Amino acid sequence: MLGMIRNSLFGSVETWPWQVLSKGDKGDVSYEERACEGGKFATVEVTDKPVDEALREAMPKVMKYVGGSNDKGLGMGMTVPISFAVFPSDDGDLQKKLKVWFRIPNKFQSDPPAPSDNSIKIEDREGITVYSTQFGGYAKAADYAAQAAQLRSALEGTATYQTDFYFCTGYDPPMKPYGRRNEVWLVKSSE
């Protein structure tokens, strides 16, 4: 636990590499199209719980892994944003399923430490292109769903994206009270 706290307060923070391909605005919604680099990710999947509750279960596991709860006992530093995939139902509500994706820092990409917790998996993910919109505050599932609906509306007729899931992202530690950065990412379809 001490390693996790030390890592989040004093560890290095690396940004997940991406390139902005274009920017757009429609109404009150500003967005970017980004090409995000792939790599190795630590993932945790939680099912049968509402998104906010599932996130409270999954995030401490990821933070402990990053903070040194791994086979090498290494605090790796942080990569932001931390993203989690949510799965909307046909009516727009979110299903009781969540998958957290933490991009392993570049220094450990070739040989990431093995997690001590067997619910954490190390997965390779290809690069993705996303449509991203940013908002502030302490985000909850309802905030992400509302932002996703606004982004879908802004992109209507101009872009194709996957509809079976989207990413919610956060850049800030929980103890940061203001100036928070959150985003919703719709993954561009490969059509």
Give the model confidence (pLDDT) of 149-182 as tens digits. 999 999 999 999 999 999 999 999 888 888 999 9
Per-residue confidence (pLDDT) for residue 89, from 0 to 100: 87
Per-residue confidence (pLDDT) for residue 93, from 0 to 100: 83
User: Residues with Cβ < 8 Å from 18, sequence gap 6 or more?
Assistant: 34, 35, 36, 37
pLDDT for 7 beyond 60 = no
Calpha distance 14→186 (Å, rounded)? 22
Mean pLDDT for all residues in the chain: 91
- Residue of 109, 49, 112 whose CA lies nearest to 84: 49
Average pLDDT over residues 73-90: 92
Tens of pLDDT, residues 27-55: 999 999 999 999 999 999 999 999 999 99
Tens of pLDDT, residues 103-136: 999 999 999 999 999 999 999 999 999 999 999 9
Distances (CA, A) of 154 to 14, 27, 65, 86, 186: 30, 7, 37, 20, 12
User: Residues with Cβ < 8 Å from 13, sequence gap 6 or more?
Assistant: 77, 78, 79, 80
Tens of pLDDT, residues 86-102: 999 888 788 899 999 99
Per-residue confidence (pLDDT) for residue 12, from 0 to 100: 64
Dmax (CA) for the chain in angstroms is 50
Calpha distance 157→172 (Å, rounded)? 33
pLDDT for 5 beyond 50 = no
**CATH domain 16-188 topology:** Multidrug-efflux Transporter 1 Regulator Bmrr; Chain A (3.20.80)
Q: Give the confidence band of 8 by pLDDT, cuts at 50, 70, 90.
A: very low
